[in-house]
């Protein structure tokens, strides 16, 4: 067993399930002495949607993972991402700005642990087949450099989704931002 810790940004319980499935399927779970999970997704809108996802996350992680949950701050995202109420304004650049916001926040929150432990950083966004891995990796590598741990968890989309659906927890239909919600509705 390694003495490395994994500091993992989690966007939702569904993607966390999928990412952990990928770690298990790839026999990588025991490569980490500890896994810290950071729930942070300030772009979820509306607040009721945020509450559903947070409830599922808390139920899924109860008693099994070390976690930190950042409180809902929908206004924070509007500083980084322009007004998405009109879908025509939505741009793929908004995704990169959102990833940047979330991953920088994780680095900030876990800087103390990172200074004490040999830690790597990753994100459950790597589970979703809807996230653009190449662009996401550029953002992550700019923030974490060689401390970024890439795992192509989307290979386990079917297995992870099946495991999650068996839990009976809430399954959302979009990433959470207004732009993606309007495209799904």
Which residue, among 160, 118, 123, has the nearest Cα to 140 in the 3D structure? 123
Domain assignments of the chain as residue spans, ordered by start? 5-184
DSSP secondary structure code for residue 148 in this structure: B
Contact by Cβ (8 Å): 22, 156: yes
Q: How big is the chain, counted in residues?
A: 185
Q: By the 8 A CB rule, do 140 and 99 touch?
A: yes
Per-residue pLDDT tens digits for 43-72: 787 888 888 988 998 888 887 766 676 655
Please give the angle made by the CA atoms of 135, 70 and 151, to the nearest 5 degrees.
35
pLDDT tens digit sequence for 127-163: 999 888 999 999 999 999 999 999 999 999 999 999 9
Q: Are 149 and 120 in contact (CB under 8 A)?
A: yes
pTM of the model: 0.85
What's residue 114's pLDDT? 77
The architecture CATH gives domain 5-184? 3-Layer(aba) Sandwich (3.40)
């Amino acid at each position: 067993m390694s003495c490395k810790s994994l500091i993992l940004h989690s966007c939702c319980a569904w993607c966390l399930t999928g990412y952990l499935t990928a770690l298990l399927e790839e026999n990588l779970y025991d490569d980490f002495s500890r896994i810290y999970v950071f729930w942070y997704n300030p772009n979820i809108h509306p607040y009721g949607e945020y509450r559903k996802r947070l409830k599922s996350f808390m139920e899924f992680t109860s008693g099994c993972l070390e976690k930190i949950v950042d409180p809902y701050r929908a206004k924070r995202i509007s500083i980084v991402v322009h007004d998405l109420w009109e879908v025509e304004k939505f741009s793929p650049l908004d995704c990169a700005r959102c990833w940047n916001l979330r991953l920088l926040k994780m680095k900030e929150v876990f800087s103390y642990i990172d200074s004490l432990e040999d830690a790597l950083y990753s994100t459950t966004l790597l589970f979703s087949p809807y996230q653009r891995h190449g662009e996401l990796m550029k953002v992550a590598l700019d923030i974490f450099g060689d401390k970024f741990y890439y795992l192509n968890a989307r290979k386990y989309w079917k297995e992870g989704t099946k495991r999650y659906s068996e839990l009976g927890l809430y399954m959302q239909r979009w990433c959470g931002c207004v732009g993606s919600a309007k495209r799904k509705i």
